[in-house]
Amino acid sequence: MLEALTPQPQDKILQLIALYRDDPRAQKIDLGVGVYKDATGLTPVMRAVKAAEKSLWERETTKTYTGLAGEPAYNAALTGMILGAGFADRAASIATPGGTGAIRQALELIRLANPEAKVWLSNPTWPNHPSIIKYLGMKMAEYRYFDAATRGVDFEGLKADLASVAKGDVVLLHGCCHNPTGANPTAAQWAELADILSARGAIPFIDLAYQGFGDGLEEDAAATRLIAARFPEVLIAASCSKNFGIYRERTGILIALTEPARKAVVQGNLNFLNRQNYSFPPDHGARLVTMILEDAALTADWKAELEEVRRNMLTLRRALAEELRRATNSDRYDFIAHHRGMFSRIGLSEAQVIALREKHGIYMVGDSRINIAGLNAATVPVLAAAIAAVGD
Ligand code: LMR
């Protein structure tokens, strides 16, 4: 049987991890996979997470199964963090293994409800979006998103493409901190986008993997909240990997907003999908998140550390834009300071990306997406000089 298998294409982001690891050069710089690193290159366990883990170790008396949909307290606390109050009667939810698990379950829910549904993706988007959709045999389409000249949102192109969305189509949106570009709609553009989707009868599906990494925890939820308030049905796949720094714990949530009368059936279908795919979702990370969100002191400490992380990335953005001004004697990279989140697509050719890797030991995704958090004060000028050296 297994002889029928053929090699799968390598994930372009994960592939970089191995390439970087195998590079013997001491001065190499990793701007690949989206993992936060502090100035020393460490991905720290956040203080509140450590404190919650200690207290969990002391208090936990059993490892028996928890709820099939996840612990209700986790689902309630995280839904509150994302949406604010007032959605309890509309929000069905399941805990999932990370944000990827939530995306996969959302797509399976869509397929269960409407096997013919078409899912619209921004061009570009996180490569795992189209990969999972293709694997599930679902239909997909793209809408324009990124203006390669300005490195901002191509809002006219986006509007023109979303005008042909059919009733019942699903439109996948990055709630904040667009991955891979770093370019995001303004508040006014989000409102206009909501008008268009509402007029088309589309179902918004929001991927929220970086809440707290852009303009702030509340600010980064604003677009999601706007859409949640306006549409009868919304899917939200959220991740705690980045904002709680618990990548390997696989902690996410899928929220399906529906009409109150339909909530029980939707919840039953979500539970069914968990049961079919892995039974009970992982609990450790979800429990830590719940403990943090339910304890005022831990919440305050976590928010303070998250804010520090966010500010560090903003500082690096400004420093890089400034260094590039100097190194290239132009303002063409100023957009880096205006982008938000971990990533910026900086607009280099594939040949330049390869030259940066081979000649300078600088690793970024092939589309020239850089992870800002992979930089520090010392490597910012090194990157700027290398970009200037490979010609821009
Ligand atoms: C990324 O885009 O680098 C992150 O979301 C990590 C991943 O799984 O790809």
Condensed to tens digits (0 to 9), the pLDDT of residues 128-176 reads: 999 999 999 999 999 999 999 999 999 999 999 999 999 999 999 999 9
- 59-73 pLDDT per residue, tens: 999 999 999 999 999
Handedness of CA 98, 99, 102, 103 (dihedral sign): negative
Residue 341: how many CA atoms within 13 Å on its side-chain side?
24
Domain end position, chosen among 238, 266, 294: 294
Judge if 34 and 70 occupy the same domain: no
Judge if 319 and 290 occupy the same domain: no
Residue 242, pLDDT > 70, answer: yes
Inside any domain, residue 278 = yes
Inside any domain, residue 153 = yes
Judge if 126 and 161 occupy the same domain: yes
Average pLDDT, the chain: 97
Residue 392, pLDDT > 70, answer: no
Å from CA of 79 to ligand 1 middle: 22
Inside any domain, residue 281 = yes
Domain end position, chosen among 294, 325, 354: 294
Å from CA of 282 to ligand 1 middle: 19
**Which one from 154, 207, 220, 283 is the annotated catalytic residue?**
207
Judge if 108 and 242 occupy the same domain: yes
- 257-272 pLDDT per residue, tens: 999 999 999 999 999 9
Å from CA of 67 to ligand 1 middle: 28
- 341-356 pLDDT per residue, tens: 999 999 999 999 999 9
95 DSSP β-pair partners: 253
Q: What's the structural domain count of the chain?
A: 2
Q: Tell me how far apart the alpha carbons of residues 159 and 182 are, in angstroms, rounded to a whole number.
A: 19
Judge if 165 and 262 occupy the same domain: yes
**Structural domain for 288, as ranges:** 65-294
Query: Which position has the token pair 């928010």?
Result: 303
**Ligand 1, pocket-test mutation among 14, 30, 37, 126, most atoms within 8 A of CB:** 126
Judge if 224 and 104 occupy the same domain: yes
**Which one from 52, 242, 283, 319 is the annotated catalytic residue?**
242
Who contacts 172 (Cβ-Cβ below 8 Å, separation ≥6)? Answer: 119, 120, 121, 122, 125, 129, 205, 206, 207
Q: Tell me how far apart the alpha carbons of residues 223 and 376 are, in angstroms, rounded to a whole number.
A: 30
User: Residues with Cβ within 6 A of ligand 1?
Assistant: 13, 33-34, 126, 179
Judge if 76 and 213 occupy the same domain: yes
Judge if 238 and 141 occupy the same domain: yes
Judge if 162 and 290 occupy the same domain: yes
Å from CA of 188 to ligand 1 middle: 28
Judge if 278 and 334 occupy the same domain: no
Inside any domain, residue 302 = no
Portion of the chain with pLDDT greater than 70, in percent? 100
CATH code at position 35: 3.90.1150.10
Give pLDDT, residue 376: 95
CATH code at position 184: 3.40.640.10
**Which one from 51, 209, 223, 327 is the annotated catalytic residue?**
209
Active site residue 209: yes
Q: Which of 258, 276, 274, 254 is nearest to 266 (CA)?
A: 258
CB environment 42-56: b (16+ within 10 A), e (fewer):
eeeebebbebbbeee
Domain end position, chosen among 264, 294, 324: 294
- 142-155 pLDDT per residue, tens: 999 999 999 999 99
Active site residue 126: yes
Inside any domain, residue 4 = no
Q: Which amino acid is at 250?
A: R
Q: Is 389:329 a contact under the CB 8 Å cutoff?
A: no
Report the pLDDT averaged over residues 320-347. Answer: 97
Judge if 212 and 270 occupy the same domain: yes
Output the pTM of the full model.
0.97
Å from CA of 152 to ligand 1 middle: 21
Listed range (9-13, 108-112, 151-155, 361-365) with the worst mean pLDDT: 9-13
**Which H/E stretch holds residue 26?**
none
Terminal C-alpha separation, the chain: 50
Who contacts 104 (Cβ-Cβ below 8 Å, separation ≥6)? Answer: 96, 132, 277
Q: Supply the residue whose CA is at minimum distance from atom 5 of ligand 1.
A: 34
Inside any domain, residue 197 = yes
Inside any domain, residue 285 = yes
Give pLDDT, residue 182: 98
Give pLDDT, residue 391: 83
Report the pLDDT averaged over residues 92-121. Answer: 98
Judge if 273 and 316 occupy the same domain: no
Q: Supply the residue whose CA is at minimum distance from atom 2 of ligand 1.
A: 34
